[in-house]
Structure 1
Amino acid sequence: MIKVGIALAVFCSFFAVNHAHAANNLPSQVNYRVLLAHNSLIIHRNGSYTMQVVRVVEPLNATGVQNLSQVNIAYPGNFAKLKVIKAYTEDPDGTRHTVVASEIFKQSTHSAIAAPFLSDGVNESIIFPAVSPGDTIHIQYDLTYAHPYLPGIYALSAVLDPSMLVNKAIIAMDHAGNEHLKVYEGRSGNGWQSGASEFRGAMTHVAVPPLGTPAPSQYAGVAVLSTADSWKALADAYNQLAASSTEVTPTIHKTALKIAEGHDGEQAITNIYHWIQQNIHGVSVNYETAGFKPLPAEETLQRGVGDSNAKVALMCAMLHSLGIAAVPAMISQSARFKEYPGVDPFAFDHFLIYLPQKQRFMDLAYRYVAADGLPVQDAGRPVLITGNHPEMTMTPPPDVGMPLLSQTDEFTLKGSELSGSEEVMASGYMAQEERSAISGLKGRRLLKVIRDAFYAQGGVGDVNAVSFLNRHDLEKPFGIRLNLNRAGEFVPGKVFSVSLPEMHHISAALVPFASSMQRSTPSLTTPVNLHFTLKIKIPEEYRPLYLPDNERLKTSVGDYKVSFAFKNGVFTENKSLVLNHFIVSPETFPELRKITALALESDHQALVLEESA
């Protein structure tokens, strides 16, 4: 029987440029070019494999020199070994400056220092001598692994990143004639040409994507070489590796019963989820240096520390002990919302728990997420469900059918200031974000943070008091109420104007799209439903000289509307923004741009008052 597993997938970001193009025609953000990037994965008959890397780069300016003079190579120290074959700097006249052994430093990775029981990551730093703009930096090394990360599947992938320059990019795989292995090729986007178990990439121009652009793997060329032909094979490999980590022990069962407090079903799930959130400290781990095998659930329980993989294994074991089905699920938290074109384990960097009977995903890595919610970093993304019924599917996107955040400001105009209250109610992922922003704060420290945020958003005046609704009950919407005054925004007279308070969340969601009329790359938005109500009690001796125009714009990407009214001495503004999707295509970007222009323009409205007759 052939064992199925998974090996290291190397992520390379490539872009190609023709030598005929002068460096001074490049965007200012481009600091170097890669002349050659050749990565080959060679599988040995004993199951080990070697990643052979040849790389030649040229810094174009001082920033490029700073970025390239040190090369860092990270790998798992417990089953991989690095051999540097050659490393040198070459001047334009051909003079070579070789890296000496004393300029190669080995140290533990950050995750290995933070949690050595989770990761044995090693980082080797190679310092290149005498580097100046126009020189070339050459490196060739072999990274040999004693065994795959998971038994039997080997994968290599690369992304053509439009913000980088490369003359030639090659990824190749050699299975050394192993008859039980076959290399499957997959690609999406432009720039890659396939050969016999290899891809070659080349492009002739560079375009630096603007702000608000998703990960390159969402829209650029992606190439994958893999010995797995389906995501099911990858899930089966993970199941094989992680099965023992979810073992139900007497300690696990006893702890689960205690946390459940006699409940079963939904309440037991909620209790255990929140207990792990609050009692198991989270650490971040790079699976390329740590591997995919989680710690045994009981060890994670005893240590009180774990990455997302270990936390999921612990919760699975606890739920299994109560007869509740649960399996791990693999996801990437990068801004990528479509599946890789080939089977690549390192397309994932995070773990969720999946409840098959409820068809629900849960994330244990975030302290302030409700049991029935997902952080926005997990929403709308490809996810691989493991277990007995593996499936590649999508996590649900945020529900924007109801307001995720509502803000109501009620002020009274007195002299030269507005005094009153601001109340914010948040639900879904926005409740988690609002709670996280004030995590651990109380008393004067809490008031200082809120005041600083008020001033940072352009407020003038003071915040006098703060109160909360459901601050610690994660299963309910979160509310915060501020008593404040806004001073110095107007000078009373026969006719004067009052600058209207704004809802910062609306402008923050749209500012990245204000600088360009059209785009050639997709745009990354966050699905939102925001509502803002402003009420100002006007003194009897004044009335509005006029009211700003009501506006409404509804498009395929979202909906924006604003309205104004004056009745019984109270001026009222109602404003809302709904964005429906994470990804806006270049074809529909003009619609997003119209919403942005209208919303930002309405943010600068003023209320003009005159003395009553």
Structure 2
Amino acid sequence: MRLFPLVCVATAGWFAGIPVAGASFPARLDDPYTNEGETQTFTVNADGSFSKLDSMTLLVNNEAGVARVAQQYVWFNRNMADVQILEAYTTSADGVRHDVQPDQIRDVQEARSFDAPMFQDIQEKVIVFPAVEPGARVHLTYRKTQKQPIVPGEFSDFTPPDLAPTHNFRLIYDLPAGKPLYADARGFTVVPPVTQDGRTRYEYRYDKAHYSRLERGSVAYVSYGDRLMVSTFPDYAAFAATYRSSATDPSAHDATLVRLAQNLTARDRTPRDKAKTLYDWVRRNVRYVAINVGRGAVVPHNASAVLANRYGDCKDHVALYGALLDAVGVRNEPALISSGTIYTLPDVPGYGVINHIITWLPDLQQYADSTASNVEFGFLPASDMNRPTVLVDQGVVARTPATALMSRSTDLSIKVEADGSASFTYRLDASGPSAEQTRAMLRMQTPAQREESIQAELRSVNLRGTATLTTSDLTVADGPLTITMKGTIESLVVPGAAAAIPALTSLAGGFDSDTRYWLGERRRTQPFVCHNLALHERARIELPANFRVLDMPEAKRTQDHFVEFQSQYAFDPLTNVVTMTRDGTTHFDSEVCSPDDFAQMRPAIEAIGRDVRAEVIVKSTLVEEPSSVASGAP
């Protein structure tokens, strides 16, 4: 099994593969590899511990497949499980067997826990296969023994497709007959369960030869495509109850912790003020270690230990933030969630899709995620927006906000010199979730990184030059952000002939970059991420006397159910000044749009795309350099 974990997101991919005597499958050579077959057999005990036997064969179709297949990873928690490699070898294209040698199998520390001793029980067994080339097959059989259950008395397993051609994939779950297994098996064939000798065997099969390309910005495939979730939890209320019981913390009323909470909030009057103060302290003082919920026992470390160490995973952040809130009388409860780009929960609960935990503040009717160090109080990171949550204390399924508005206003002033160079002043005012995200980035930048950011802003609109950058107060934790850039531009326009000046109303970001995202796909077949924006852009270009304007862009206005946009252009011949404005807003009901939504909005987006590519056509005369007077002239 190979896993691709995101930040606190267990997006476990799997490779199919078990040798089938005499069987072969036509491979699409443009697919890096083919899962020729895999059987995973789980033997589950009454206490929730289990043994998993996994046998797979992967066919390498091309050079891209070599990189994907030649090294396999199996994650495990060394305090709770062990992994034995039973068989590992490569069959090269000429049929020769090449066994994996003992020194090609090693246990390594998961990278994200290198500097976090509390999490160094998370390991990966790495298997490096020899002689991997196009046409070769990689064979792996291993046993993972989960000696300590993730949740005592319960079992769950999540299987998303690996988006590679897959054949003869079988998942077998063998459980005590008195412990029923519930399933959400979308796209999988369900074999009727068989009960014999006090145990019940459940089987699910999967076969798929082709997956469509993931479109730009599309949500996770398992949100709308095939997936398998199996679980012994009958419902989400029972699932929440097990987390609630495991999260009991005897240190929650520790005197040091209570004193810290009271000191931090001494000047706060309202519950919201207190919740915000404590949130800002946790997100900026407790390092986040992105270990997925469910990769070990789902028990947070004691809040006092998290406070002392100043780091923790999402469970630990919720435990510490919750204890601080309790100390000042602000009600709160953990909320289990699927973070990342998985926007739906399966019908049955379990870890895998649920991979993260945040805080619900019932009296304030809002969520908070202190692991997001760059998100101000009152907002959530995009990875938490518009998705179901499981409120642990209430045992009910709720939902995070569907959308949040990001506002951005810019003012660009360019003064063109007679030789075609220019000076400029650019001001950006941002509010909403993007303001603190940008502020946090600026707080962390070194001078060299700041200079690179400035150059990136200029390169994004095909300009070269130099600039200095100033900002509003970066030490604040919330509110609008103002950035001002002042500098010079090399050769904005070459004088001496007719030329085009881009009708810029912003540098990086804004309408230009947003329309590039929208128009990255001509047609959509998959749900995709869409954010609500309010953009207001102004620009002024002052031309010298040796320039005259030949042509100006035409004003545009477009509106549909989702998008409003208008632009205006004006030229004052008395002052030789061009002014331009662009204003637009989006009106999405949620952070996820459908292909039908895209079809409706596409004409408006294309109209905006044409407008942001507009140009001001000018003609200029050369400015001659002053020449010296020849000595001795008559």
TM-score normalised by length of structure 2: 0.86
Task: After TM superposition, give the deviation of residue 288 of structure 1 in Å.
Answer: 4.4
Query: Does structure 1 retain, via aligned residues, the 8 Å contact 2:286–2:310?
Result: yes
Task: After TM superposition, give the deviation of residue 577 of structure 1 in Å.
Answer: 4.2
Task: After TM superposition, give the deviation of residue 83 of structure 1 in Å.
Answer: 2.2
- Residues 554-573 of structure 1: pairs in structure 2 closer than 5 A: 554-566=559-571, 569=575, 570-573=577-580
Separation in structure 2 between the aligned mates of residue 362 and residue 258 of structure 1, nearest angstrom: 21
Q: Per the alignment, in what secondary structure is the counterpart of residue 325 of structure 1?
A: coil
Equivalent residue number for residue 529 of structure 1: 534
- CA 1:88–1:160: 2 relative to 1, 3 Å: same
Q: Which runs of 5 or more residues in structure 2 are unaligned?
A: 1-8, 194-201, 621-634
Equivalent residue number for residue 488 of structure 2: 485
Equivalent residue number for residue 31 of structure 1: 32
Equivalent residue number for residue 106 of structure 1: 107
Does 2:209 correspond to 1:211? no
Moved more, 472-481 or 326-335: 326-335
Separation in structure 1 between the aligned mates of residue 386 and residue 151 of structure 2, nearest angstrom: 27
Q: 2:285 aligns with which of 279, 286, 299?
A: 279
Give CA deviations for 1:436-473 in whole Å, capped at 9, x if unaligned.
3323336x546513432233314535344322124222
Query: Does structure 1 retain, via aligned residues, the 8 Å contact 2:505–2:582?
Result: no
- CA 1:326–1:119: 2 relative to 1, 3 Å: farther
Separation in structure 2 between the aligned mates of residue 469 and residue 9 of structure 1, nearest angstrom: 38
- Residues 589-608 of structure 1: pairs in structure 2 closer than 5 A: 589-608=598-617
Query: Does structure 2 retain, via aligned residues, the 8 Å contact 1:419–1:486?
Result: yes
Separation in structure 2 between the aligned mates of residue 47 and residue 446 of structure 1, nearest angstrom: 50
Does 2:237 correspond to 1:232? yes
Equivalent residue number for residue 467 of structure 1: 470
- CA 1:193–1:544: 2 relative to 1, 3 Å: farther
Task: After TM superposition, give the deviation of residue 433 of structure 1 in Å.
Answer: 2.6
Equivalent residue number for residue 174 of structure 1: 174
Equivalent residue number for residue 436 of structure 2: 432
Task: After TM superposition, give the deviation of residue 478 of structure 1 in Å.
Answer: 0.8
Moved more, 569-578 or 32-41: 569-578
- CA RMSD across the alignment: 2.9
Moved more, 269-278 or 527-536: 527-536
Separation in structure 1 between the aligned mates of residue 251 and residue 415 of structure 2, nearest angstrom: 59
Separation in structure 2 between the aligned mates of residue 249 and residue 222 of structure 1, nearest angstrom: 43
Q: Per the alignment, in what secondary structure is the counterpart of residue 118 of structure 2?
A: coil
- CA 1:69–1:537: 2 relative to 1, 3 Å: closer
Separation in structure 2 between the aligned mates of residue 86 and residue 515 of structure 1, nearest angstrom: 44
Moved more, 368-377 or 538-547: 538-547
- Residues 109-120 of structure 1: pairs in structure 2 closer than 5 A: 109-120=110-121
Give CA deviations for 1:123-161 in whole Å, capped at 9, x if unaligned.
111222333322322222221112221222211222234
Moved more, 324-333 or 559-568: 559-568
Separation in structure 2 between the aligned mates of residue 203 and residue 238 of structure 1, nearest angstrom: 36
Separation in structure 1 between the aligned mates of residue 330 and residue 34 of structure 2, nearest angstrom: 54
Q: 1:576 aligns with which of 583, 588, 592?
A: 583
Separation in structure 1 between the aligned mates of residue 38 and residue 160 of structure 2, nearest angstrom: 12
Separation in structure 2 between the aligned mates of residue 93 and residue 463 of structure 1, nearest angstrom: 59
Q: 2:408 aligns with which of 401, 405, 409?
A: 405
Q: Per the alignment, in what secondary structure is the counterpart of residue 52 of structure 2?
A: strand
Query: Does structure 2 retain, via aligned residues, the 8 Å contact 1:381–1:394?
Result: yes
- CA 1:453–1:516: 2 relative to 1, 3 Å: closer
Task: After TM superposition, give the deviation of residue 194 of structure 1 in Å.
Answer: 5.3
- CA 1:170–1:410: 2 relative to 1, 3 Å: same
Query: Does structure 2 retain, via aligned residues, the 8 Å contact 1:90–1:97?
Result: yes
**Letter of the aligned partner of 2:136 in structure 1?**
D
Task: After TM superposition, give the deviation of residue 352 of structure 1 in Å.
Answer: 1.4
Query: Does structure 2 retain, via aligned residues, the 8 Å contact 1:187–1:341?
Result: no
* Count of residues in Structure 1 that have an aligned counterpart in Structure 2: 593
Separation in structure 1 between the aligned mates of residue 101 and residue 496 of structure 2, nearest angstrom: 77
Separation in structure 2 between the aligned mates of residue 560 and residue 256 of structure 1, nearest angstrom: 47
Query: Does structure 2 retain, via aligned residues, the 8 Å contact 1:12–1:158?
Result: yes
Query: Does structure 2 retain, via aligned residues, the 8 Å contact 1:371–1:475?
Result: yes
Equivalent residue number for residue 396 of structure 1: 401
Separation in structure 2 between the aligned mates of residue 209 and residue 510 of structure 1, nearest angstrom: 19
Separation in structure 2 between the aligned mates of residue 543 and residue 501 of structure 1, nearest angstrom: 18
Query: Does structure 2 retain, via aligned residues, the 8 Å contact 1:547–1:564?
Result: yes
Q: Per the alignment, in what secondary structure is the counterpart of residue 607 of structure 2?
A: helix
Separation in structure 2 between the aligned mates of residue 395 and residue 124 of structure 1, nearest angstrom: 36
Separation in structure 2 between the aligned mates of residue 555 and residue 168 of structure 1, nearest angstrom: 47
- CA 1:602–1:333: 2 relative to 1, 3 Å: same
Equivalent residue number for residue 274 of structure 2: 268
- CA 1:408–1:131: 2 relative to 1, 3 Å: same
- CA 1:330–1:492: 2 relative to 1, 3 Å: same
Task: After TM superposition, give the deviation of residue 164 of structure 1 in Å.
Answer: 1.1
Q: 1:457 aligns with which of 454, 460, 472?
A: 460
Quote the sequence identity (%).
20
Q: Per the alignment, in what secondary structure is the counterpart of residue 438 of structure 1?
A: helix
- CA 1:498–1:375: 2 relative to 1, 3 Å: same
Equivalent residue number for residue 86 of structure 1: 87
- CA 1:325–1:404: 2 relative to 1, 3 Å: same
Separation in structure 1 between the aligned mates of residue 315 and residue 524 of structure 2, nearest angstrom: 38
Q: Which runs of 5 or more residues in structure 1 are unaligned?
A: 1-7
- CA 1:462–1:148: 2 relative to 1, 3 Å: same
Equivalent residue number for residue 42 of structure 2: 41
Separation in structure 2 between the aligned mates of residue 563 and residue 238 of structure 1, nearest angstrom: 56
Query: Does structure 2 retain, via aligned residues, the 8 Å contact 1:557–1:584?
Result: no
Q: Per the alignment, in what secondary structure is the counterpart of residue 345 of structure 1?
A: coil
Q: Per the alignment, in what secondary structure is the counterpart of residue 382 of structure 2?
A: coil
Q: Per the alignment, in what secondary structure is the counterpart of residue 243 of structure 1?
A: coil
Q: Per the alignment, in what secondary structure is the counterpart of residue 148 of structure 1?
A: coil
Does 2:346 correspond to 1:336? no
Moved more, 559-568 or 241-250: 559-568
Task: After TM superposition, give the deviation of residue 544 of structure 1 in Å.
Answer: 4.0
Does 2:501 correspond to 1:510? no
Separation in structure 1 between the aligned mates of residue 497 and residue 166 of structure 2, nearest angstrom: 66
Query: Does structure 1 retain, via aligned residues, the 8 Å contact 2:10–2:292?
Result: no
- CA 1:544–1:193: 2 relative to 1, 3 Å: farther
Q: Per the alignment, in what secondary structure is the counterpart of residue 176 of structure 2?
A: coil
Equivalent residue number for residue 3 of structure 1: none
Query: Does structure 1 retain, via aligned residues, the 8 Å contact 2:157–2:352?
Result: no
Task: After TM superposition, give the deviation of residue 548 of structure 1 in Å.
Answer: 1.4
Moved more, 463-472 or 417-426: 463-472
Q: Per the alignment, in what secondary structure is the counterpart of residue 564 of structure 1?
A: strand
Query: Does structure 1 retain, via aligned residues, the 8 Å contact 2:412–2:538?
Result: yes
- CA 1:49–1:20: 2 relative to 1, 3 Å: closer
**Letter of the aligned partner of 1:576 in structure 2?**
D
Moved more, 423-432 or 237-246: 237-246
Separation in structure 2 between the aligned mates of residue 545 and residue 10 of structure 1, nearest angstrom: 56
Specify the structure having the higher radius of gyration (Cα).
Answer: 2
Moved more, 449-458 or 308-317: 449-458
Q: 1:250 aligns with which of 248, 255, 278?
A: 255
Separation in structure 2 between the aligned mates of residue 338 and residue 478 of structure 1, nearest angstrom: 33
- CA 1:66–1:596: 2 relative to 1, 3 Å: same
